[in-house]
C-alpha cells in the first residue's frame, strides 16, 4: 500500500475525517453536515466524536465517509491507536483507494496517523496455512492519500518519512517477538542485524561462542549453558560519515529468545509467552535500523547479549558463582533472574569498549515492575535527573509511558552476597524491580548518564491483533523521539 500527500482540495472517493471532541464540535458538525448531505440535527444527534467512535455515511454515488472520533484532548498515542483500531477492524471492507482529510490536523500528528494505518494491517497469523488473501487496501495496489494544506506540507512530509521508516522496522520486530522458539534463536537475531546493517550501511559484529569464551563474557555464557543454541553478542554501530563531534549513545537490550527459568523453572501457565523475552533486543535493534534509515546525526551503538535460558544437566545451578566480563563475580541465587546476568556483560562490554556519553538499557526484566505499574508504563531507573527528564519528555510525546522509580543506595543490601561481589536476586518478595536495577548499576561502572528501562509490562500486551498477549514494539518510537530531541538540543 502506497501513501502520498496531496495539497489539493479533497476530491471524491472514500474518505476518513478525524474529529476531535472540542468546545467547537457543534460548529464543526454544522459545517460538515451539508457536505455530507445530512441535516445538521441528525449529524449532531448521531455523532459525538467520542474516542474511537466511528460513523459510516454512504453517498448516493456509493462512496463512504468515515467520521472518526478522537475524544477530548487526544495525545499522539490516542491518534495512533484510534486509526489502528479503525483500519484493523475495517480492513476487509476498505476500498483499494482511500483518503484521509488531515487539513485541520497539526502536521506533527501525521506520524501517529500513518503508524496507526500501517499498524492496522498487521497480521498475527504468522504460521497459519489456510489464510485467505489479504485485504486489497493493504496490497501492493492499495493507495492512501493524505490531504494536507500547503502550510502543513513540509512538516507532514517529514512526519510521513519518519513514520514509514518506523512502521516497516517495527513490523519486523513484531514478527520476531511473536515468533516461537523453534523459529527464533540467538542466531536469528544476529542474522537479522547483519542483514539490516548491510542494507542500511551500519556496522554489525557478532561474537560467537568461541569469541565470547576468548573475551571472557562469563555471565552471558553461564545463562546459555542449558541450551543447545549457542549464545551471541550482537554489536551494531551506526556513525554517519563527515560529521565531527557526535554524541555517542549506547543502547543495550536483553535478548533472551526463550526463557524457561532454568533450574528455577517457571510454572507452565504462561511459559509459552516467554518467546517475548527479547523485547529489549527488539527495541535496540529496531532503533539502530530506524536511526540509520533516517540518517540521524548521532553516533549510536547497540549491544544485544542473546541466549536461550533453558535447562539440562549443564545448566547453571542456584548457588553457583560466575565471573562477568568486567571481572565482578556474581552469586546466582535464582536462575530465572537471568536477564540481569546477561545484561551485566552487555553493559560492561559497552562501557569498556565504547565509553558512550549516554547509556540506556531496556529489558523485559521483572514481574515486580508489572505489580508496581501494571500494563500502562515501564519502570525507569536513573541517578541522572537530566536524563530522566529527557526520557520522560520523549515518553509523554509518544505515549510509550515511563515512570521513574528510586535507585537509592538503601537497596544495595538486597544484592549483597556472602561469597561473591554481588548476588543476582534478593530473595525478597518486595522491591524486585529496584534490586534488579541496583544489580545492573554495578556493571555500568558508575556511568554518570545511565538509565535502565524495565519494559516487562509493555513489550507484550493485549492488543486487537489476537486473543493472547502479543508484541507491541515498545521502545522504538520512544528512543527515536529521545534521540531526535537530544540532537536538537546539542546543535
pLDDT of residue 12 exceeding 90: no
Annotated binding site for Mn(2+): 254, 259, 277, 336, 338
Catalytic residue among 52, 266, 404, 469: 266
User: d(Cα 239, Cα 293) in Å, to the nearest integer?
Assistant: 12
- Identical fold for domains 2-151 and 165-489, yes or no, is no
Per residue in 336-376, pLDDT tens?
999 999 999 999 999 999 999 999 999 999 999 999 999 99
- Among 85, 118, 184, 340, the one annotated catalytic: 340
Length of the chain measured in residues:
491
Is the domain 2-151 a CATH 3.40.190.10 member?
no
The whole-number pLDDT of residue 490 equals: 84
Q: What is the mean pLDDT of residues 223-234?
A: 98
pLDDT confidence of residue 225? 97
What values do phi and psi take at 451, rounded to 5?
A: -135, 140
Say how many C-beta atoms besides its own lie within 10 A of residue 10's C-beta: 16
Could you list the residues known to form a binding site, using ranges.
254, 259, 277, 336, 338
The confidence score (pLDDT) of residue 244 equals: 86
pLDDT for residue 15 is more than 70: yes
Cβ 381 vs Cβ 405: under 8 Å: yes
Q: How many CB atoms lie within 10 A of CB 103?
A: 15
91 is catalytic: no
Look over the chain and give the mean of its residue pLDDT values, rounded to a whole number: 96
Of residues 313 and 12, more confidence is placed in 313
Q: Is the pTM of this model over 0.85?
A: yes
In this predicted structure, the answer to whether residue 71 has a pLDDT above a threshold of 90 is yes
For the chain, the domains span: 2-151, 165-489
Q: For residue 399, what pLDDT band results from cuts at 50, 70 and 90?
A: very high
**CB neighbour burial string for 231-251, b if at least 16 within 10 angstroms, e if fewer:** bbbbbbbbebeeeeebebbbb
- Inter-helix orientation angle 76-90/385-398, to 10°: 40
The secondary structure element, H or E, covering residue 173 is helix 153-178
What CATH code would you report for 165-489? 3.40.630.10
Mean pLDDT confidence for 305-331: 98
Q: What is the mean pLDDT of residues 422-433?
A: 97
Average pLDDT over residues 478-486: 98
Instruction: Identify whether the C-beta of residue 8 lies closer than 8 Å to the C-beta of residue 149.
Output: no
- Whether 340 is catalytic is yes
Amino acid at each position: 500500500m502506497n501513501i502520498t500527500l496531496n495539497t489539493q482540495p479533497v476530491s471524491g472517493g472514500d474518505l476518513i475525517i478525524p474529529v476531535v471532541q472540542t468546545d467547537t464540535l457543534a460548529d464543526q458538525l454544522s459545517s460538515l453536515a451539508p457536505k455530507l448531505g445530512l441535516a445538521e440535527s441528525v449529524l449532531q444527534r448521531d455523532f459525538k466524536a467520542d474516542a474511537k467512535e466511528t460513523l459510516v455515511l454512504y453517498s448516493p454515488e456509493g462512496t463512504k465517509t468515515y467520521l472518526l472520533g478522537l475524544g477530548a484532548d487526544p495525545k499522539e498515542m490516542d491518534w495512533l491507536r484510534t486509526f489502528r483500531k479503525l483500519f484493523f477492524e475495517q480492513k476487509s471492507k476498505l476500498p483499494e483507494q482511500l483518503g484521509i482529510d488531515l487539513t485541520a490536523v497539526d502536521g506533527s500528528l501525521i506520524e501517529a496517523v500513518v503508524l496507526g494505518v500501517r499498524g492496522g494491517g498487521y497480521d498475527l497469523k504468522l504460521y497459519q496455512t489456510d489464510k485467505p488473501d489479504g485485504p486489497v487496501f493493504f496490497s501492493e495496489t492499495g493507495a492512501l492519500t493524505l490531504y494536507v494544506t500547503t502550510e502543513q506540507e513540509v512538516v507532514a512530509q517529514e512526519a510521513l518519512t519518519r513514520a514509514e521508516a518506523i512502521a516497516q522496522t517495527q513490523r519486523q520486530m513484531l514478527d520476531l517477538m511473536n515468533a516461537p522458539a523453534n523459529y527464533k534463536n540467538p542466531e536469528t537475531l544476529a542474522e537479522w542485524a547483519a542483514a539490516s546493517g548491510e542494507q542500511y550501511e551500519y556496522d554489525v559484529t557478532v561474537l560467537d561462542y568461541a569469541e565470547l569464551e576468548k573475551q571472557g563474557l562469563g555471565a552471558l555464557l553461564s545463562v546459555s549453558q542449558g541450551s543447545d543454541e549457542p549464545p551471541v553478542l550482537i554489536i551494531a554501530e551506526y556513525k554517519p560519515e563527515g560529521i565531527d563531534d557526535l554524541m555517542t549513545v549506547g543502547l543495550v537490550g536483553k535478548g533472551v529468545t526463550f526463557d524457561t527459568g532454568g533450574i528455577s523453572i517457571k510454572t507452565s501457565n504462561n511459559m509459552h509467552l516467554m518467546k517475548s523475552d527479547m523485547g529489549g533486543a527488539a527495541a535496540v535493534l529496531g532503533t539502530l535500523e530506524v536511526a540509520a534509515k533516517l540518517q540521524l546525526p548521532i553516533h549510536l551503538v547497540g549491544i544485544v547479549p542473546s541466549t536461550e535460558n533453558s535447562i539440562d544437566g549443564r545448566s547453571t545451578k542456584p548457588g553457583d558463582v560466575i565471573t562477568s566480563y568486567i571481572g565482578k563475580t556474581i552469586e546466582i541465587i535464582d536462575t530465572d533472574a537471568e536477564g540481569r546476568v546477561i545484561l551485566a556483560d552487555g553493559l560492561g562490554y559497552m562501557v569498556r569498549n565504547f565509553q558512550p556519553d549516554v547509556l540506556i538499557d531496556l529489558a523485559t526484566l521483572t514481574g515486580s515492575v508489572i505489580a508496581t505499574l501494571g500494563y500502562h508504563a515501564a519502570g525507569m531507573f536513573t541517578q541522572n535527573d537530566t536524563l530522566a527528564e529527557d526520557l520522560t519528555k520523549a515518553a509523554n510525546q509518544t505515549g510509550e509511558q515511563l515512570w521513574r522509580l528510586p535507585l537509592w543506595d538503601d537497596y544495595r543490601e538486597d544484592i549483597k552476597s556472602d561469597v561473591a561481589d554481588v548476588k543476582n536476586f534478593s530473595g525478597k518478595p518486595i522491591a524486585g524491580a529496584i534490586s534488579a536495577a541496583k544489580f545492573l548499576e554495578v556493571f555500568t561502572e558508575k556511568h554518570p548518564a545511565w538509565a535502565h528501562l524495565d519494559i516487562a509490562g509493555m513489550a507484550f500486551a493485549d492488543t486487537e491483533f489476537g486473543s493472547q498477549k502479543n508484541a507491541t514494539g515498545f521502545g522504538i518510537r520512544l528512543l527515536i523521539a529521545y534521540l531526535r530531541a537530544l540532537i536538537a538540543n546539542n546543535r
